[in-house]
Structure 1
């Protein structure tokens, strides 16, 4: 299901980051959503990107997103930075793969840069319900979107860090002093989420209590391989530096996509035969599917139900 949205307000969260508030074009109320949800926005015909919702998730009057400008990106962030009040966009319904765990004794949140966006929605949720939580916000000096909002919401539950050494020390303290039964959440660049995960493993956290959502994923080149698309009756050669999703689109076969970063799960496709090098964050390997946007064949060929 898609909705038509109207831009209600635009402002600069910090240099290089634009915050946009949307209302429904038909005047109806936007639906509520779980904290940590993202919204798919069509920034060009047939081109969609996913953006985390930052505003209140319970009976919201508007939907809010914040977008960092990526001059070398595919164009989605540039389109978002050109929006003006009154502009319209098509959107998906919100969905979440990064929601808080209700049974957690305490919620430990680590945000890096623009990765603060889903963490902010978690913070709003926890303050509304009175849940115990704390936030570590890692950012570059002078580039901290939503820092003032976090300070107002968190008070002394917020810690910040602007250098790698300071961030590493605070992460270590966070994971080694947490009460039993805590859950750990991180969102940010791959280096930060990897550091949080490594610190948690070193402190003997179980995987089920550690949650991450990288806002981008490194798609390292791999070996070329062949993809056999059974339903379409087509075969495509996937280049070493080409994603499987791009190769499928190149030969004109339709495949769903949204984030193109292995985070949202929109492009998950069943694998009929062949080994997969899973590089996504949605654990596609658990149910025999592949994230077309980032994952690849682990051998010379794959057969897909596509």
Structure 2
């Protein structure tokens, strides 16, 4: 991952729903680089605490005058969304890592593109829409949310893409049948999903069955739930150990301890930036980065989501 950081001003903050805020950034001393649809940036919030989070860019990829992100206020926040909602103000200066993309749009105008969003998982698709419309590709956006008040960008989407938009308001009993939707699509379609884990898993299951694994694309929008038995991790090069609780990840334990710094862009087992060598023990792999053979080899693991099958792990850190 590119370690360079870009200083930006917070040029605008807008409350787009009771729990979601939009943040707009403009460069302080330089210019912002263009980005591709599906990209996200890491916001560095507190250097002393090592607090940083990655958020999808929702603005037009062809317009680098500003970047925009949207952040859900998580009541169980471990610092990221709470900082963004409660401490960041217009005019403040923060630092961003350059845009990275692990959820890119397939530029194939001969295929249909099915976008499936759950809740705040709508955010990466906001940048998709600019490219899909500009290139004239065939697409549909299926947007599921708890209720109309909690959903973001509904009116904007209705005006922007009209008949390409399908809404599912759970409060009105409107439920998306993932299996039926995917079965109805042409065999050469691409399907993309971002949202809660249950939605992602359903799309992966039925997408792989009806379209093939290479046509299913997914991204989690936050830290994946990480629960399991407690275990010990020893960091060989650093010479100390940490106990990993039942409801925390190895990455979270490292960040709380502060003696080691580990880069992690996605925090949900997709990007591979926190991949670490296993010296002893066996990992419980929960990532979407390693393939089946790499998992079976037990040579490396992702610290943000994976846990231990054994009571002790020794890592090359």
**TM-score, length of structure 2 as denominator length:** 0.87
The structure 2 residue matched to 1:214, chosen from 220, 241, 250, is: 220
Runs (4+) of structure 1 exceeding 6 A deviation are none
| 1:85 paired to 2:90 | yes
TM-score normalised by structure 1 residue count: 0.90
State the partner residue of 2:32: 30
Q: Distance in 1 between matches of 2:175 and 2:219?
A: 18
- 2:20 aligned with 1:17, yes or no? yes
**1:7, 1:86 within 8 Å by CA — same for their partners in 2?**
yes
RMSD (Å), alpha carbons: 2.3
1:115-134 → structure 2 map (5 Å cutoff): 115-134=121-140
Tell me which residue corresponds to 2:307. Answer: 296
Matched, 1:172 2:175: no
2:287 corresponds to which of 257, 273, 280: 280
Q: CA deviation at 1:166?
A: 3.3
Query: What displacement does 1:9 show?
Result: 1.0
Q: Is the 8 A contact 1:105 1:180 kept in 2?
A: no
Instruction: Extract unaligned runs of 5+ from structure 2.
Output: none
Q: Is the 8 A contact 2:188 2:211 kept in 1?
A: no
Query: Does the aligned pair in 1 maintain the 2:183–2:210 contact within 8 Å?
Result: no
Are positions 1:199 and 2:206 aligned together? yes
The alpha carbon displacement at 1:246 in A equals: 3.0
Deviations 1:103-143 (CA, angstroms, capped at 9, x unpaired): 47121100111110001111111112222111101112222
Task: Provide Cα deviations, 1:258-281, integer angstroms capped at 9, x if missing partner.
Answer: 443334443222333432212223
Query: Which residues of structure 1 form unaligned runs of 5+?
Result: none
Q: Give the total of aligned pairs.
A: 303
Matched, 1:229 2:235: yes
Q: 1:236 to 1:77 in 2, by over 3 A?
A: closer
Work out the CA distance in 1 between the residues paired with 2:243 and 2:288.
25
Secondary structure of the residue aligned to 1:86 is: coil
CA-to-aligned-CA distance 1:175-227 (integer Å, 9 cap, x gap): 011112111100011122123223334x5331221111121354342223332
Q: Which residue number in structure 1 is paired with residue 107 of structure 2? A: 102
Q: Residues 139, 242 of structure 1: CA spacing in aligned structure 2 closer, same or farther, 3 A cutoff?
A: closer
Q: What does the per-residue CA deviation read over 1:156-191, in whole Å, with 9 as the maximum and x for residues that have no partner?
A: 11111112963333x333201111211110001112
Helix, strand or coil at the partner of 2:176: helix
Structure 2 counterpart of 1:61: 65
Deviation at 1:15, TM superposition (A): 1.6
**Structure 2 contact 277–301 (Cα < 8 Å) conserved:** yes
1:79 is paired with a residue whose SS is helix
